[in-house]
Amino acid sequence: MNIIKIHYHDNDEYIPLASCNLHPEIVAVMEELGLIETRGDLISADYAWRINKLLRLRNALGVNLNAAAIIAELLDRIEELENEVRALRKMR
């Protein structure tokens, strides 16, 4: 398993794909599936975090990239809903 260390200040910042230590085939598959978008040899820092999350899910659970993407989306949605519930509770 590759550990990706990413430091950035702005989600609009682009970093070199090479810094993610990913095989080009994995990047190509993720692009074909619509999981990430690249700009030549660059990727947005936001997508780099997404790649890290997808690969952790894939390695930890032994699922394919499609399943990892679905799990990641559901986890993100749960987090959004939990934040919304917290905000609503504060309004009471």
Domains, the chain, ranges and CATH?
A: 14-91 (1.10.1660)
Higher-confidence residue of 6 and 81: namely: 81
Distance, CA of 3 to CA of 61 (rounded, Å): 16
| 38-39 and 14-16 strand pairing | unpaired
Q: What is the pLDDT of residues 29-75, one digit of tens each?
A: 999 988 888 888 898 888 888 898 999 999 999 999 999 999 999 99
- The token duo for 37 is 């978008």
The candidate with the shortest Cα–Cα distance to 47, out of 61, 58, 62, 31, is: 31
Q: What is the pLDDT of residue 9?
A: 46
Q: Are 68 and 36 in contact (CB under 8 A)?
A: no
The phi, psi pair for 7, rounded to 5°, reads -125, 125
Output the CA–CA distances (angstroms, integers) from residue 60 to 8, 48, 80, in the order listed: 25, 18, 23
